[in-house]
Each structure stands twice: as C-alpha cells, then as structure tokens.
Amino acid sequence: MATHISRHLHFAGHTISCIYSRSRESAVKLASEFGSIGTNISAEVPKNADYYIIAIPDDMIEDVILKFKDCEGIWLHTAGAISVEVFKEYQSRYGVFYPLQTLNSDRSVLLEDTPILVEGSSPGVLESIHLLAASISQNIHEIDSSSRLTIHLSAVFANNFSNHMVHLAQKLLEDQGIDGKLLIPILKETFSKLEEFNAIDAQTGPAFRGDQKTLQKHLELLKDKPELKNLYTFISRSIDSTRD
C-alpha cells in the first residue's frame, strides 16, 4: 500500500519528504525512488509535513500514531476496517484515505479509476483530503467509517473470496496434471460479463440450474477432499437460495 500510494502521489507532483518504516532497508529503498529520506528512526521524520500517511498493518496503526503524536499535519490511514476515530486522542486534523483495490507489491496498478474512500475530522480537512485523493484518482467518495467497513467486507467477497475460488479451481486441475491455462478464457468471460450484468444475472452452472445429478457427480469426485466437499456443498446451497 505504501509503495503504491507514494508512487502515485510522487507522479502526481507531490513531494514525498520522508518514508519511515520499521525496516530501514525497505524505507531507504522506497525513498530512493523519490530522492527523499528513508529511515527507521522516528526523530528523523519531519515534524511539519502537510500530510502523514500511515500504510501499515491495522494492528500497528495506533502505535505509530502515538509515536508521532508531536508531528502536526493532516494524519491519514489507508485501512478499510479501522475507524477514523483511532486518531482522535492524538491529533486534531485527521482522516482516512482508503483505495478500494487489491494491491500486490510486485504488480503496479493504475489507481486512476480506483475508488478512494475519504473521511475527515472536519469539513476543511475533508476538503484537503479530497483534493489529495483527486490528484491520483477520478473516483473519490466521502464515506463514513461504518459504511467503509461494509464496503471492505464486500471487497473481501468480491476479490479475496472469488480469487480463492479460482485458486481452488487451479489446484483441482493441477492435482490431476491438467494445465490450469485451460481456465483463462472462462475467467476472462466471467469478469467481462460482470461489466455488463449484475452477478446474479450472469450466473450459470449446475447449482443455479438446480441440476442435482451434476452436483452429485462433483461431490463424488471430491469424496477424498472433505474440506473442499463441504465448501462445494455450502456454496452450492447458497447459490441455490438465489434462484427465483
């Protein structure tokens, strides 16, 4: 997250004055892209930046806020599931800058269309955050912490869980020595369809048709994989419940 956001802000013309990380090595490496300071020493972090952006695991956010409570500026975190209130005891100007996207460190993503969900401690702060977000994306939404958590949960289904289904599919093939590339065209169409249809209107397959014989054949194939068999049964039942 830190890599993606800092690169986008840098390319949008903002000055990244410092990258702070527990790992000096990774701080220096990222900072070198921007010709800025990379450090793991809190005293080396400028006290007067316009923005302080926290992009670290959720569990550590409060520790970092505490550690830098003498740094004044607009403090932001980038987490889907952390309330904006986490800043309240320590800072007066703060908010949230949450890109609704799946980010891997080894793949660059254009954030231009990615929704950035913003929240601010006051109308003025919110406006500043909005402007910052608008410098890297055209898709800004003011969303409170409670709705952001729902959206984050929804993204877990849309991305993490759907991706896991694809992983299970690839593993089923791999276990039989069948090339997983066979699935590429159906994956393309699956998601291309979702640009035109709601998922419910795009659905096909045995569970959605109520085709019990095929379900039984699939379960028979999974008889030595109890966990997968349960998952198959449970998801098929959930699909069945969406039929008219």
Candidates 167, 224, 226, 244: give the one binding its own copies (CB under 8 A).
Answer: 167
Q: Give the position of tokens 């896991």.
A: 164
Residues 180-193 as b or e (16 or more Cβ within 10 Å = b): eeebeeeeeeeeee
Candidates 24, 69, 217, 243: give the one binding its own copies (CB under 8 A).
Answer: 217
Q: Which is nearer to its own copies, 75 or 232 (CB)?
A: 232
Please name the residues in contact with 107: beta carbons below 8 A apart, sequence gap of 6 or more.
Answer: none
Q: Which is nearer to its own copies, 66 or 166 (CB)?
A: 166
Q: Which is nearer to its own copies, 37 or 103 (CB)?
A: 103
Quick check: 64 binds its own copies (CB under 8 A)?
no
Q: How many helices (H) and strands (E) does the chain have?
A: 11, 7
- Least Cβ distance, residue 117 to its own copies (angstroms): 8
Residue ranges in 178-197 that form contacts with its own copies under rule CB under 8 A: 178, 180, 182-191, 193-197
What is the x/- site pattern for its own copies, positions 104-123, by CB under 8 A?
A: x--x-x---xxx--------
Candidates 97, 100, 122, 224: give the one binding its own copies (CB under 8 A).
Answer: 100
- Least Cβ distance, residue 68 to its own copies (angstroms): 22
Tokens of 27: 């701080």
Tokens of 220: 């028979």
Q: What's the one-letter identity of residue 188?
A: K
SS3 147: helix
SS3 140: strand
